Structure 1
Amino acid sequence: MLDSKLLLTLASVIETNGFERAAVQLGITQSAVSQRIKQLESLLGQPLLIRSQPIEATSTGKTLLQHYKQIKMLELDLMQHIKPESSDGPLHILSIGADADSLSSWLMPALLPLMHQHGLQLRILLGEQVPDPTAAQSTTHLSGWLTHSSSTIYSSQCLYLGDMHYQCVCTPAYLQHRFAQGLNTTTLANAHAAILHGQHARHAFYLQQALAYMGDFPYSSLPTPEAMLTLIRAGLAYGLIPQEYLDHIADDAGLVTLGTPLQLPLYWHHWRAEPAIARALGEALLAARQARGKVQHHTLAAITARSD
């Protein structure tokens, strides 16, 4: 059993980026901090920190930091059940990572009932801002995060939530102006795409999969589907928009689709050991996606028919 005092010291050194600052935070001497770190490293038989500027955690150090954060969350959950009368706001704070596509469409409606029921406070980190959950300098413990990848990290597991569907859309005027000669190598190489920040590879994959195009393309990178759609509606670009976002806007009838929809799996990543409220959150997301899946094929059929 690892000494929680030693784990606390390691976490403090990593998160404050220094032995001296950790000593101030913990109310002990810098020498005591060094001794605790050496004791933990001796116990495990390997270094946990790279003594550089800034200080870096080794792979094992990062794993221990994540382990410590999970322990603290489980302890808070335990105290909430043992002494519910002493529970306060911080016991109900969860940090989650979300992609802009989910946040703009289905995620918030799925979270609202849980927030009402449990007085839940959320910290949502968006898209490229979502940190590596094991990052040494991250003070944020993610209870879970949404991605299109099923790759897990130490002590985590993923839950398949269903698929996200994307329609490649543009205005009729843009279609006539840029694609009058069809969707071919020449037109796609010159057509201006609107893409989500960090999703150049997704757009390139779509062009290859749905339109058999593997070349370069001009594009503007935007932070949200809303911003992408503003550019598209202005007749300046085409782009992949989540079907579920299109479902929520009233004036999308003026858009036409290019090619077939893109379908990507969506996963909820969470920890194997997690507090009850985090488990409830994952269950709520799964229920929302399952309900969505029952109507998804009807919506896609309607959009396809409208664009023909």
Structure 2
Amino acid sequence: MSPVELHHLAALAAVVDEESFEAAADALRITPPAVSQRIKALETTVGQVLVRRARPVTVTDAGAPYLRLARQVAALVHDTEVEVAGAGQSTSPAVVPVAINSDSLGTWVLGALAPLSGAVSFDIHREDQDHSAALLRDGTVMAAVTTASRPVQGCTVSRLGVMTYRVVASRVFADRWFSEPPASDGPDVDSLRAAPVVVFDRKDDLQDAYLRARGVPAAVPPRHHVPSSADYADAVRLGMGWGLLPDQQCLDDLRSGALVELDPEHRTDVMLYWQQWSLRTSALDQTSAAVHAAAARHLG
């Protein structure tokens, strides 16, 4: 097999990041036919189709290792440029693509990343913590907040801490749909079958897992899908339905009485881990240190 050309790898990363050949051409400041030629040349070199030519452009299984390689090369080149330029010299920020679940993004992670924003450009992918490992595996991101304790190939893993979720509802909603005060063993099955529930999106299994544990088929209660962490919490506060909220989003309202905890005996602890490439770069090391420091302050 012929050696892989670095500018071909750069084109692969660009079409995946920008999601089209045209946008990749703008990012690379070349023409779309030139981007297409570079991708075709890379595929000819490796003898496999590396991208799905659709909208958005996505990497194939065969392309995933080359996408990881493209990002690793870009990260090492950037570190070398910074080293050669020397202290005090202006260089473009390193790009660190990361996958973060919505609740972490909406409560504690952005505060950790903000101090690095002058030196690092973050490409944040909002992804459920149970599915973010796939983005590491296919090379889309360099690091992720995930529930996966087993490292993806080529990655290291470390524990961040626990996010505790409570079954809550607005006081008005609880008075309407559930017994007052709530039973010691939680809401009764008939109430759970009838009461509307707020679900983040169709990957979110927290509420459905709770229903199954209480003997209620997940498909039975009416549901609202609200795919934004802040808006999801607002939907619960406004009485659209009950839902599971992390401590970071509900403790103040529980203390004030605006929210009611429906089932204090059945809280859900979600252990979070930080997975990142084994490859060490300055930007990735800084990002990891900032995330771990914030997790120590905000997670159980």
TM-score, normalisation: structure 2: 0.75
* Shift in alpha-carbon separation, 1:251–1:13, aligned structure 2, 3 A: same
Partner SS, residue 77 of structure 1: helix
Cα distance 1:28–1:191, how it changes in 2: closer, same or farther (>3 A)? closer
User: Which residue of structure 2 lines up, in the alignment, with residue 305 of structure 1?
Assistant: none
Per the alignment, in what secondary structure is the counterpart of residue 145 of structure 1?
Answer: strand
Q: Distance in 1 between matches of 2:13 and 2:286?
A: 31
Check if 1:155 corresponds to 2:154: yes
Q: Name 2:197's counterpart in structure 1.
A: 193
Distance 1:207 1:9, change over 3 A: same
Q: Which residue of the partner structure matches residue 208 of structure 2?
A: 204
Structure 1 pair 258/102, CA: closer, same or farther in 2 (3 Å)? Answer: same
Amino acid at match of 1:174: F
Which consecutive residues of structure 2, in runs of 5 or more, have no partner in the other structure? Answer: none
Q: Counterpart of 1:63?
A: 65
Distance 1:241 1:126, change over 3 A: same
Q: Is the 8 A contact 2:52 2:60 kept in 1?
A: no
Asked if 1:264 is matched to 2:270, the reply is yes
Percentage of identical aligned residues: 18
Quote the Cα distance in structure 2 between the aligned partners of 1:221 and 1:231.
10
| SS of match in other structure, 1:132 | helix
Aligned-pair CA distance for 1:178 = 0.9
Q: Is the 8 A contact 2:170 2:258 kept in 1?
A: yes
- TM-score under structure 1 normalisation? 0.74
In the alignment, what sits opposite 1:299?
Answer: none
* Higher Rg: 1
Aligned alpha-carbon RMSD (Å): 3.6
Gaps of 5+ in 1: 42-46, 297-308
Q: Distance in 2 between matches of 1:120 and 1:278?
A: 9
- Residues 213, 33 of structure 1: alpha-carbon distance in 2 compared, 3 angstrom cutoff: closer
Work out which of the residue numbers 188, 199, 219 in structure 2 matches 1:184. 188
What secondary structure, in the 3-state scheme, does the structure 2 residue paired with 1:150 have? Answer: coil
2:11 equivalent in structure 1: 12
Q: Determine the C-alpha separation between the residues in 1 that align with 2:207 and 2:7.
A: 44
Q: Distance in 2 between matches of 1:271 and 1:24?
A: 32
1:113 aligns with 2:86: no
Contact persistence 1:246–1:252 (CA under 8 A): no
* Partner of residue 304, structure 1: none
Is contact 2:135–2:141 with CA below 8 Å preserved after alignment?
A: no
CA contact (8 A) 2:99 2:124 kept: yes
Give the conservation status (yes or no) of the 8 Å contact 2:100–2:127. yes
Q: Is this contact kept in 1: 2:9–2:70, CA < 8 A?
A: no
| Structure with more helix by fraction | 1
Secondary structure in structure 2 of the residue aligned to 1:220: strand
| Contact residue 233 and residue 249 of structure 2 kept, 8 A | no
Misfit runs of 4+, over 6 Å: 128-131, 248-251
CA distance in 1, matches of 2:287, 2:171: 41
Distance in structure 1 (CA, Å) of the matches to 2:203 and 2:51? 36
Number of residues paired by the alignment?
276
Kept in 2, the 8 Å contact 1:9–1:37? The answer is: no
Quote how far apart the aligned CAs of 1:52 are.
7.5
